[in-house]
Structure formats: structure tokens, C-alpha cells
Amino acid sequence: MAALTAKDFDAIKTSVQDGAKNWIRVGMSTCGIAAGAGKIYRALEEEISRQGQSVSLRTCGCLGMCYAEPLVEVCIEGLPRVVYCRVTEDCAREIVRGHVMGRKLLQDYILAMHYEEAFS
Amino acid sequence: MSDKTVLLQDTTAGIATGTNDFFGVFKAALRESNLADNVRLVRVADMGVYNQGVVMTILPENITYANVEVHDIKRIIGVTLKHGNPVKDLLYQPKFRQMRLVLKNCGRLDPGSIDDYIATDGYRALLKAVEQKTPEDVIAELKNSGLRGRGGGGYSTGLKWQFTREAEGETKYVICNADEGDPGAYMDRSVLEGNPHSVIEGMLLAGYAIGSSQGFFYIRAEYPLAIERVQKALDQARDRGLLGANILGSAFSMDIEIRLGAGAFVCGEETALIASIEGKRGTPVPRPPYPSVRGLWGMPTCINNVETLANVAPIILHGADWFAGIGTSSSKGTKVFALTGKVRNSGLVEVPMGTTLRDIVFDIGGGIASGKKFKAVQTGGPSGGVIPEKYLDTPVDYDTLQKLGSIMGSGGMIVMDEDDCMVDIAKFYIKFCVEESCGKCAPCRIGGYQILHILEGITQGRGTLQDLDRLILIARAMKMGSLCGLGQTAANPVISTLTYFEDEYREHIVNRRCPARKCKALLQFSIIRHQCKKCGLCARACPENAITGDREHGYTIDTDKCIHCGMCFDVCKFSAVERI
């Protein structure tokens, strides 16, 4: 790939931000994987393709709430962005059916997080 | 009217008994007000707010109420859900105790995508440095920011860079110390796994500042995922011209490679780490000369810890003043802690320096998991100490922790409750240091072993009061005579537990009793007659056949035969085995 130059920075930022508006992210650091995030990722992948959804499925690092792993963050336009915790395979399938397709937030799995960001 | 979401946390007592089904009542009230279709009512798993009764957050206004009672529902529906206004007397401001700087994008971006990192203003600090700043400017910025090494020592990062820059040498090196080895600490692993590019950018800035063209990651082989992700990130960076010759079109060139460590604790010590990279046995050498003058292959070398390097890019991007505005007068910025042990929410927390231990353990960590009594928190790993409850309100920074006989260390924080025996804890840490001692110098090699020997005696009922003086004597000798930090600090857990919990040591020695009931050799087991159901489970479980009797007359434990293994205590379903 071509070497990055100063003017590429804004273009990359715009293209990432304009990327998928509907996405699911699975925490896949050692803590998440130990808690079964690999299985959860596969369950989500299967259910998304079975239901023919176009939601973007990605991995990310550790959010810090290791006690509540596996963590799955879901962003669907029109719904608040939420983090589901202690996700099971059944819950993963329900995320696709209920949250992505049914546009409903799942009961009893949301983890609220409180922190401020040091810079924006 | 627009859609609203209500995130609700019922009280656990209410859910368990079913007597106070707040969720159900709220749902019925919504139906009555014809709002059922417009309001999403969601019960959450964890709101992060504890002991505040029913808590709810209403979106999109982001209004949070706590201690909500059933009779408040009408007002909430009328004022907030219908008109978007807050009910003032119920408002609750969740305390934002955490501040994310190092972890900001950890868990928010794909560590395998360099574009994701660039989109969060990644590599912009590097661009700013090579385009607008001289290496001296970068060092000055670091010095003014007050950033201190996050690996344990707490030395000024800016000064370290300056010394390396000023030192003479035909070539210079940057090393990222990712040999994280403290028991219970995994902050650096998470940063490397979650946002590897942030550390690479920090290394590039270090290289630019000190005039180096070669960097090394020293990562322990026990971190395979971190190694894989850092390697991928390095490949991507090289692919995009962020590593190699003429980075971002400037005159600055640098490459970075990974070197694996075999997981020896002593290799986190900088001179031992350098020896390990050189292919030699990982043992320390006396300092000075410091690595900034004579380091890797005899050349000036700048060694920084993972978290330190992850702080660098934000400082260059947002300025020293911004960074110096966070934290206390002597310790700037934030610190990531790995909160583990008996705490309810174990995980990574990042707080501004100066946050109190109480806030970290009780507000963020949610307190003791079992509801038992808090006893102490251990910071700084095998080089640190324990901090008892009376000092919980101490603001955490490098200097306050040192005054309390502990250290900031790399950020491990292990919470202990009343079931933890402090002599046992001291024994655990000294055992760790005995196993990890490289054996090069006598004070560490012999002193550590002797301390362990004495502590084992105390936990097995062979201790004498003279042992306490002996412990202090050996600890002092280790501190003064050891070659490197491992030996100099290895006795810290012993000294600090002795300082704060001397009573517990004396109880072991004088009364041959372990107050926490942890030291098995000191426990006496007996069967409580009236609670015993004569099932015989204990007799069958006893490996020494020390429990005799039958199902008719009940069972007794022969204390002479008993080896204090605790099997009978563990198997008894009726709590009929007593241990004192």
C-alpha cells in the first residue's frame, strides 16, 4: 500500500466515520476470549448470515469490564448504542433477531458504563 | 412525541422476593398512560450504581434518577417521559470517577485495523512532531507534562529522554518494556491487545526525540495474542510508511521489531531486559551507568513501559498543559489499575492520579464481592505492600503510596477481605520473589529464601517472637545489599504486613492461631454434635482415616491423626465441621 502522507489523515477519518452505521463489536482480548467471546462471535456471524442481515460485525479490544465479559456493543440507527454483558450464545442470536431485526433492546443484559474521556 | 428509552435497574432484593416488582409496575403505568408503544422500558444487568435503590436512566435526555419509589412513577411519566423535563428531587449524578486516556480507544476500535486508529486521530501526534517540532521541543513538552514512568519507578519520562538524547553514541535504541509480570496485573497486555498502534506511535515519538532509528518491543512469550496483534500492527505501519525510511515524508527513519521474553520476572528490570535482548542470560548489572548512557549493545537506550508510551501521543497532540491539568501536584495524568481479588467488579480501571483508594475499590469496583469485611488492598505487586482500611481515603499517587510503605508499581491492585491471612499473603509474595530471583547476588538469593523459611515456620506453628526481629533484619539487608529492584523491594510485602498487621503475626506465634483461618496447619477440626446428621461423608473423605465412628453413634476426629487438610470441612453439607 502507498505510504501515508499528511493529506491522507482526514480522508481515512472520514471514510471510517462514514462506514457502516449499523454495527456489532465483540470484545476479543484475552479476557473476552477466556470468557467465550470466540463462540459468541461465531454465533453472531452465523445468525447474521442466516437472517441475511447487512450489519457489520467486528472485533475490538478490552473495555475494562472484564468481570462482565463477553461484552458485545451494538449500534443500530434509531436505537441507543448499548453494551451487552455476560452474553451467551442464545443471547447473541437474540441480539441479531431482537435488537438488529426487531429493533428492541434486550432485557437484563445491558451494562451501563460510567467514565469521562480525557480528550475528545 | 419522539421515542424514549428507559434503562432501569431494579433492586436485587426486589427481584429476588418478587414483592417489589418495580419493572412490572412501571410497565403497567406506561400502558395506562398510553405510552407503551413510545417508550422502551429495558431492565439492565448492571448500571454501575450501587446501594442507591432503583436507578434509571432516561434517553435521549440522559437523565438519571436514583432511589426511585413506586409513587414517583407518575411524576416521572408526566414530567420526563411526556415533556422531557427532569424531576429535580430524584436526579442523581453518577460519579464519573474513571477517566479514560490510555484506555480511551481500547475496546472502541479494531486493533487489527490501522485505519481505525488513524480515524481516532492516531499518528497525528507523530505527524505534528515531524512537521512542526524539533526533538528538543518534544522532550520539553514531555518534561512540562510531568509524565512519570508507569512501570513502577515513577521517573520523569522527559528527563529520561533528555539524558538519552544527550548521551553520545553512534546509534541509539528505544525499548518498550512489555514484560509485565506482577501477579494480578494485566494493564499492559490489554493496551497491546486493544490498541497496539498507540504504543507504536509512542515509540516512534521517543525515537524521534532521542535520535534513534531502531526500536524493540520486549514482550513476554506468555502474551501470544498481544504479540500477534503488535506484529500485525507493525506490519501495517511498515506498509503505510510509518516505519522505515523517511516517515511521513520527513528525514526521520525508524524501524521497530519484537523480541520475546521467556517470562522471567527479573527481565522486567531494565538491565536484565537489555541482557536478555542481547541474547545473554537475563541478569541485572549494577547501575550507574544507566541504560540512557550505556544500554543495549553499549549504546544509549531509552526504556519505557507500555502505558508510559501510550500516554505520549495524547500529550504531544493536546499539549503539556492539558496533561498537567489532570492529577495531583507531583503525579500527573491518569493511571490504569488492574483491580482484582475479592472485589465485585474486577477489571481495568483508569482514574486520574489523586483518586482515593476508597473510590477505586468501593465506587468503581463495587466493594467486596462476598459482602464480607474489607481488610486491605495490595498495590505494586511483589515490590509493593498492603494498605489497610484506615488509609483508604488516601489519594493515590506515586508519593502517597510510597509513604504508606507500598508503591504505585505497574498498577496491580489486589483487594483482600477478612478471609485473607496477612502472613500467608507475605509468604505468597516472598515465594514468588524466591522463585523469580536470578540468583546473581547473595542478599536476594539467600535473604529471600530465609524470609520464606521463617514465614513458613510461623504459618505452621513453629514461629517465635524473635522471628519478627529476624524478618526485619533480613528485609533491611536485602533492601541495602541487593543488586536490582527485585531484591531491593522483595521484602516490602513482609515489612508492610508486619507494620499494619503485627497482631496477626503475633496471634500465629503466641496463640498458634490463624485469625483468617487460612493457615491450615494451625486449624483444629472438630465435629459439632448437634449439627451432625451422621451421614459419614467426612469419614469417607478423610485421607488419613482420622475420623472414626458410625452412622448410629456419630463421628469424631482424632486430632493426633489429623493432617489439617480440611477435606471434612469442605465436604460437610450441614456445616457440622468446625475449624478454629
Please check whether residue B108 is in contact with residue A120, taking contact to mean a CB–CB distance below 8 angstroms. no
User: Shortest CA distance to B142 belongs to which of B300, B315, B307, B306?
Assistant: B315
Residue A114 has pLDDT above 80, yes or no: no
| Whole-number Cα distances in Å, B235 to B120, B228, B243, B255, B277 | 19, 11, 9, 11, 21
pLDDT in tens, chain B (580 residues): 458 888 888 766 555 555 567 888 888 888 888 888 888 888 888 887 877 888 888 888 888 898 888 888 888 888 888 888 888 888 887 776 789 999 999 988 999 999 999 999 999 999 999 999 999 999 999 999 999 999 878 899 999 999 999 999 999 999 999 999 888 899 999 999 999 999 999 999 999 999 999 999 999 999 999 999 999 999 999 999 999 999 999 999 999 999 999 989 999 999 999 999 999 999 999 988 999 999 999 999 999 999 999 999 999 999 999 999 999 999 999 999 999 999 999 999 999 999 999 999 998 888 898 888 999 999 998 999 999 999 999 999 999 999 998 888 889 999 999 999 999 999 999 999 999 999 999 999 999 999 999 999 999 999 999 999 999 999 999 999 999 989 999 999 999 999 999 999 999 999 999 999 889 888 889 999 999 999 999 999 999 999 999 998 899 999 889 988 889 999 999 999 988 8
DSSP label at residue B288: S
Q: Which pLDDT score is estimated for B15?
A: 52
**Dihedral pair phi/psi, residue B97, rounded to 5°:** -75, -25
**Secondary structure percentages of chain B, helix, strand, coil, to 5:** 45, 20, 40
Residue in A59, A106, A117 nearest the CB of B104: A117
User: Shortest CA distance to A30 belongs to which of A8, A72, A61, A52?
Assistant: A61
Q: Which pLDDT score is estimated for B12?
A: 61
Domain ranges of chain A: 21-101
Strand-pairing partners, residue B395, are B356
DSSP string, A59-97: EE---S-GGG-S-EEEE-TTS--EEE-S--HHHHHHIII
pTM: 0.91
Match 496477612 to its residue by C-alpha cell: B422
B21 CB neighbour count, 10 Å cutoff: 15
- Chain B hits for A91, CB-CB cut-off 8 Å, are none
Q: How far is Cα B434 from Cα B449, in angstroms, rounded to an integer?
A: 6
Q: B375: exposed, middle or buried (C-beta count within 10 Å: 0-12, 13-18, 19+)?
A: buried
User: Shortest CA distance to B225 belongs to which of A71, A40, A59?
Assistant: A59
Task: Look up residue A64 and give its three cell numbers.
Answer: 475494562
pLDDT digits (tens, 9 = 90+) for A27-80: 999 999 999 999 999 999 999 999 998 899 999 999 989 999 999 999 998 888
Q: Which pLDDT score is estimated for B1?
A: 43
| Cross-chain Cβ contact A1/B59 below 8 Å | no
| Strand ranges of the sheet holding B39-43, from the earlier edge strand across to the other edge | B39-43, B4-9, B55-59, B63-65
Q: How far is Cα B79 from Cα B178, in angstroms, rounded to an integer?
A: 53
- Chain B hits for A85, CB-CB cut-off 8 Å, are 45-46
How close is the nearest chain A Cα to the Cα of B468, in Å? 39
- Chain B hits for A105, CB-CB cut-off 8 Å, are 5, 40, 42
Q: B234: exposed, middle or buried (C-beta count within 10 Å: 0-12, 13-18, 19+)?
A: buried
- Chain B hits for A67, CB-CB cut-off 8 Å, are 344-347
What does DSSP say about strands B55-59 and B39-43: parallel, antiparallel, or unpaired? unpaired
For domain A21-101, give the CATH number: 3.40.30.10
**For chain B, which domains are there?**
4-90 (3.40.30.10), 114-323 (3.40.50.11540), 334-417 (3.10.20.600), 422-510 (1.20.1440.230), 523-579 (3.30.70.20)
| Cross-chain Cβ contact B57/A12 below 8 Å | no
Strand-pairing partners, residue B343, are B368
Task: Look up residue B224 and give its three cell numbers.
Answer: 501470544
Enclosing H/E stretch for B477: helix B465-481
DSSP label at residue A99: I
Q: How far is Cα B394 from Cα B407, in angstroms, rounded to an integer?
A: 13
Q: How far is Cα B556 from Cα B573, in angstroms, rounded to an integer?
A: 16
Q: Which pLDDT score is estimated for B235?
A: 96
| Chain B: residue whose CA lies nearest to A18 | B119
Q: How many CB pairs under 8 A join A and B?
A: 175
| Cross-chain Cβ contact A64/B103 below 8 Å | yes
The residues near B442 (Cβ < 8 Å, ≥ 6 apart) are B481
| Cross-chain Cβ contact A114/B347 below 8 Å | no
Note whether ipTM > 0.90 here: yes
Task: Look up residue B193 and give its three cell numbers.
Answer: 491487545
User: Shortest CA distance to A107 belongs to which of B48, B9, B389, B423?
Assistant: B9
